[in-house]
Chains A and B, each alone.
Chain A
Amino acid sequence: MKIEKIIKEYYSVKVSSTGPMPFPEAISRDKRQYRRTVLNESLVNIGFHVILAAVVIAGLYRFNNGSTLSVSITKRAEEISLNIIIDRKLEQLNSNIKILKNNINTRGSL
């Protein structure tokens, strides 16, 4: 047997017979702390995405209900045009009343 082979075998035996060492406490703590940080970050991320999704869904809902908006705009437009018509009618009535009053006054004086 070659000497190099014996040396290698000797060291293999010695290395494999060393007992397992405990994982360094500082690194375990670091690991746990890191996991906590990751968990917190994940929760914040999830929360943010939930809010974002809610906003998008609400937007989509409103978008889908676009007809409601157009109906309300139409209603408002109709109301405005009705108001204009009513105003005109009122003006006409006022002027007619004035004419009638003038006619009555003129007949009275005669």
Chain B
Amino acid sequence: MESPADKMYILFHLSMGRDGKLKAFNRIWKIYSNRITFYITQIIPEEGYTVEDCHQEVMLKIYQGLDTFRAEYSLKPWIYTIARNHSLDYLKRKRADSIDDIDTLPAPGGRNPESEFISSEIFTAFEDSMKKLSDDDSQIAYLRFYEGMKLKEIAAVMNMNINTVKTRITAVKKNLQDDLRGWI
């Protein structure tokens, strides 16, 4: 998980020139690589699109964008804004291309058999309920409940009004609560 120490580490290394930039990026890679992969799967459809390609491009954009990263920026919204904007661009580009030309690679999403939560009925019900969410709602839920981002930051990432974000979060919670009535 990101901590102020991570941001300090990244800013410190960014001030050290090119070698520092690589070290800063390695830290981002370590913390965010999997999280960005999952976030991308919330934006691009699982079939017909290559999550790996998009992930590579997003990470490259983040690496290139590190030159413009400033101390006053929050790392998380900055990263997710790049991830979202680039994933949407990627989707647009791929839709313009012929579907036949696209290598199909299913999005990673294998289950961990060791987790009791995954094998539980509540997880299955929850997953079904999450699948009903729109792409935007699922991204908002992820940024809010997993990443713990502020409404203002989510609004900036999603390019939405803060009140819309608030309304959507309330709606997501209500829908999930309705679907999971009896378990929670």
Contacts and interface: CB of A to CB of B under 8 A. Distances in A.
B142 interface: yes
Q: Is the interface of A mostly helix, strand, loop or mixed?
A: helix
Nearest to A9: B117
Which residue among A9, A14, A22, A30 has the maximum number of chain B CB atoms within 10 Å of its CB?
Answer: A14
Given A11-B146, A16-B34, A24-B59, A6 B111 contact: no
Given A1-B184, A27-B59, A10 B130 contact: yes
Nearest to A4: B145
Contacts of B141: 7
Given A10-B126, A12-B146, A17 B111 contact: yes
A31 interface: yes
A104 interface: no
Interface string A24-60: 1111001100100010000000000000000000000
A21 B52 contact: yes
Interface residue range, chain A: 20 to 34
A17 B110 contact: yes
Contacts of A10: 117, 123, 126-127, 130
Given A10-B127, A34-B22, A18 B37 contact: yes
8 contacts: A6-B176, A10-B127, A12-B146, A16-B34, A18-B41, A21-B37, A21-B52, A34-B19
> Which 7 residue pairs are nearest across A and B when measured between Cβ atoms?
A11-B146, A19-B108, A7-B145, A18-B37, A18-B108, A15-B38, A18-B34
Interface of B: 18-19, 22, 25, 29, 33-35, 37-38, 41, 52, 55-56, 59-60, 63, 108-112, 115, 117-118, 122-123, 126-127, 130, 141-142, 145-146, 173, 176-177, 180, 184
Interface of A: 1-4, 6-27, 30-31, 34, 38
